[in-house]
Structure 1
């Protein structure tokens, strides 16, 4: 991209101050919006939109920023203060005159409220929509129901419950933090190359992705070392990736006493013991091992032939009994705890839960507000308290479109007869389609 890009359009060629000045001319000096728009070059529709905002909310409460947040009317702090005012007003709570004149709670109240409930404004991590909406009560309950079924059917003790997952090891590691002079913008650390080669690392623990052909090899390795049988089966919990749907692997698992339980899609960050408590530690020690290797081998890049030794260095430090057992405990798998997740854990999926239910969770900040302003001693004159959720309901996604011919993934017992038969039929149909295309 050129350093000084030449504009090819007049779109938003005006500044925040120019927009503010134009709005003042219309709202305070009572000039014609058509005239002001013509003089300033600001689109009349844009000008009218901001004039309406100013009339409704007041000049000081409108955001004139033309960046990504230009559509926001209030800042986060103002939203909370405004909600507190609306909540108190709806429940006839005695409030200061300053709240009434500004139509929002005061700043001092907000800071005191945040202090009392240990709240702070923080920048959230970027999380995909699929991840946040798939981790919902329905999917999680379905998984725990399947887990309970196989545990009750086969009587698995803790030592017979395993988790299988993959992660990627790359020849270009993430360097550790280094000490540098304050204010220095660019701080470098030698790595093997700019772009590396990914090698899949498969882990199976008791209490990168691979191709489906490799799953059979992994299960054969598992049988060789853990000795499962039909009379003494073992349970393996794994994610929902397509590589785990090999018919050959499912046949081998069933013949050798391996029960395969599949997690719901996009729920590994909460339900996969390896993801929850082991892999993060492994990546940290792996990057440290790579950094040490680079120091001891100056001028040489890391290749795939060095990865086995690097993994061998990081593995015993991260795959410890404590980390592994914590992973099973935090996910509610072992010991079995289907209530391990709270209402707040499912809050991200609330926007797509259809239809809306009065029992759905609301944000902790709203609950704290509800409890605080509804506590004994406040002069409420109504018997039923109006909750913040009623005043400002959470937005809900629109109704789903017509169902497409796409089979939705879910938690299943892969080695169960009906599930396995359905997978075999689906695989047969796919093979017939491939053959037909080749004949054409």
Structure 2
């Protein structure tokens, strides 16, 4: 039943049409279409369809009714099309390197550029409204939230490293005759699970802050996943924090899922060895003497000599991915664990709403198994191995933009060859007395490359460099690992020889005789003062001028550690400083000496009296 409206709105006979967005093409597209008509002889209709430019807009410029440089109606922009194209290209270039500009930084750089061109005074800078108009004139550019990229990943993901990895992988697959056997190509990777899930987007009020109830912080549970290029996934394997395995932790797990315990909840060499021997081999396809290739990252739990020897016996080839490149080369990271995390968060949010229990380590396995079966489906696994260029082998599968951030870490020629750093800079980092304004953006880019190229560290011999992007089970790599372990066990530094000066400072303590246990306070055996004293080896100048000892008698047999307080005499004897040392409290009535106080030893006090 439909209720009558309280205030019915009249129905318009002729509704007002929705106005479409103005100018959905970029100025560069209009310029390219104009050149095709003028230079290549293309018709206006074909050029307008080729570059998605309105036909009448292009025809007016071809016929000379409108200046070809005019791209908008109304007030002419501050910069012409060529100048704005240089600004846009610079903004895109810096963003592709991973060091893009914020809104205010873009305005500052454009202001500096306008000052250099003589179109603005230094005191009259641009506002944020210029950026709004600029983005409106260049639809291909917009303000976006960048995705975080770790510094070491940006530095190590080089094009040369990726190409070398594909060469080794292609050689390994062809040598073992696995090019047409996707069911024998596997990828294994770990995934950390927390009970404090990230809430998904929900529908709520726009006038108040919407909240989502979570389980709070807790320990991490590691899930080891595995899938093949043919779309077959191995059941998950869980690593729970603790020391004793409890079967209740696997309640609600999918068929074939298993788990073990570790003190931290993270995987290690023993856990990974158990996973391969007891879990992976159970579900690996029947090979009939054929070899299996496992693609792993270079985590230290995956690299072990005994593990490589066991893999050789089982006809398993372990291939290690290049270091710090798993975000673009590891199939499970590229196309499976992202959907897994979203599904896991949604399931946790639903469990928190539909049940009275919170997410704990006793129900995290059930939730993770449901997300695992959906995320590691055949379709996602096929896409994962295809996007990473593993099956089929394709070096061009990795987008070039993923490797652009590493270019700034290559050694570059310093922009200022003369070493003259007197060029003043204004806000935004643009040089103010450059020779020509055309080189401003190029110098800004070179400045970034020169700064990052100085971060080249001294090369070190690590295990990661020996196995990165190579076959772990090959004889050459195994020998290199064994030699590396032997080198690590050798002492790196020789003990320093004692000089004559050091031998004077180091006091040799006399050999202590073995003493049979004797009853004493707090059951501590005390040695006689004559046996524990080493005052005979100390020079007289360092001893107390009153008792003639280095250690006071009252402290010689002390049970606990007690420090003796000293003071040096400030008196004068026959015109020379006394400089005698005296035990405070024990050999003089003075207990504390503060900065600026004058102290006299008992001998100097007698002489003054």
Decide whether the 8 Å contact of 1:167 with 1:209 is kept in 2. Answer: no
- Change beyond 3 A, Cα 1:245–1:390: same
CA RMSD of aligned residues (A): 3.6
Q: In 2, distance between residues paired with 1:149 and 1:110? A: 52
Contact 2:189 2:226 in 1 (8 A): yes
CA contact (8 A) 1:173 1:287 kept: yes
Q: Which residue of 2 is the match for residue 417 of structure 1?
A: 475
Deviation, structure 1 residue 211: 0.4
Equivalent residues of 2:318, 2:472 under 8 A apart? yes
* Other-structure match for 1:69: none
Q: Which moved more, 1:168-177 or 1:246-255?
A: 168-177
User: How do 1:251-266 and structure 2 match up within 5 A?
Assistant: 251-266=309-324
Superposition deviation, residue 391 in structure 1: 7.9
Greater Cα offset, 74-83 or 143-152: 74-83
| 2:367 aligned with 1:310 | yes
Q: Which has the larger radius of gyration?
A: 2
Residue 184 (structure 1) aligned with residue 208 (structure 2): yes
Q: Secondary structure at the match of 2:373?
A: helix
Q: Please name the residue that 2:594 is paired with.
A: none
For residues 141 and 308 of structure 1, do their structure 2 counterparts lie closer, same or farther at Cα, with a shift above 3 Å needed?
same
Which blocks of at least 5 consecutive residues in structure 2 are unaligned?
A: 1-101, 230-264, 415-437, 492-609
The answer to whether 1:133 aligns with 2:136 is no
CA distance in 2, matches of 1:407, 1:244: 11
Moved more, 100-109 or 113-122: 100-109
Distance in 1 (CA, whole Å) between partners of 2:472 and 2:172 is 11
Between the aligned partners of 1:264 and 1:353, the Cα distance in structure 2 is 18
What is the deviation of 1:264?
1.4
**Counterpart in the other structure of 2:193:** 169
Displacement of 1:429 in angstroms is 5.2
- Kindly indicate whether the alpha-carbon contact (under 8 Å) linking 2:272 and 2:301 is maintained by their aligned counterparts in 1: yes
Q: Alpha carbons of 1:336 and 1:403: their partners in 2 closer, same or farther (altered >3 Å)?
A: closer
* Structure 1 residue runs of 4 or more that deviate by more than 6 Å after TM superposition: 99-110
Contact 2:189/2:332 (8 A) holds in 1? yes
In structure 2, which of residues 157, 166, 174 is the aligned counterpart of residue 144 of structure 1? 166
Shift in Å, 1:141? 1.6
Report the counterpart of residue 76 of structure 1 in structure 2: 106
Unpaired segments of 5 or more residues in structure 1? 1-71, 90-96, 358-384, 434-440
Q: Deviations over 1:230-277 (max 9, x none)?
A: 941111111111111122221111111111111112211111111111
Give a deviation string over 1:71-121, Cα, whole Å, max 9, x none. x9x7213425756997xx8xxxxxxx8479999999879945774460123
Given that 2:190 and 2:225 are in contact with CA atoms closer than 8 Å, whether structure 1 keeps it comes out as yes
Structure 2 vs 1, CA of residues 304 and 81 (structure 1 numbering), >3 Å: closer, same or farther? same
TM-score (norm 2): 0.47
1:159 equivalent in structure 2? 183
Q: Which region of structure 1 is more displaced relative to structure 2, 334-343 or 145-154?
A: 334-343
For the residue of structure 2 that corresponds to 1:305, the secondary structure is: coil
The alpha carbon displacement at 1:309 in A equals: 1.4
1:352: how far off?
0.6
Question: Between Structure 1 and Structure 2, how many residues are aligned?
Answer: 323
Equivalent position of 1:195 in the other structure: 217
Q: Distance in 2 between matches of 1:160 and 1:229?
A: 8
SS in 1 for 2:191: strand
Kindly indicate whether the alpha-carbon contact (under 8 Å) linking 2:328 and 2:398 is maintained by their aligned counterparts in 1.
no
The correspondence for 1:400, drawn from 453, 456, 464, is 456
Contact in 1 for aligned 2:187/2:226 (Cα 8 Å): yes
The CA deviation at 1:414 is: 0.9
Could you say which residue in structure 2 is the equivalent of 1:341? 398
- Would the alpha carbon gap of residues 110 and 288 (structure 1) be closer, same or farther in structure 2, given more than 3 Å must change? closer
- 1:149: how far off? 1.2
**Partner residue, 1:283:** 341
For residues 410 and 381 of structure 2, the distance between their equivalents in structure 1, rounded to whole angstroms, comes to: 33
1:3-152 aligned at under 5 Å gives the runs 75-79=105-109, 98=119, 111=133, 115-116=137-138, 118-152=140-174
Deviation, 1:354, is 2.6
When structure 1 is superposed on structure 2, of 416-425 and 229-238 the one drifting more is: 229-238
Query: What secondary structure does 1:304 align onto?
Result: coil
C-alpha distance in structure 2 between counterparts of 1:84 and 1:152, whole Å = 58
- Judge conservation of contact 1:228–1:258 (CA < 8 Å) in 2: no
Render the CA deviation track for 1:347-400: whole Å, top value 9, x for unaligned: 21111123569xxxxxxxxxxxxxxxxxxxxxxxxxxx9896478535232273
> Taking structure 1 as reference, are residues 262 and 83 closer, same or farther at Cα in structure 2, changes over 3 Å only?
farther
Give the direction of change, closer, same or farther, for the CA distance of 1:319–1:404 in structure 2 (3 Å limit): closer
**Offset of residue 279 of structure 1:** 0.6
Deviations 1:53-78 (A, max 9, x none): xxxxxxxxxxxxxxxxxxx9x72134
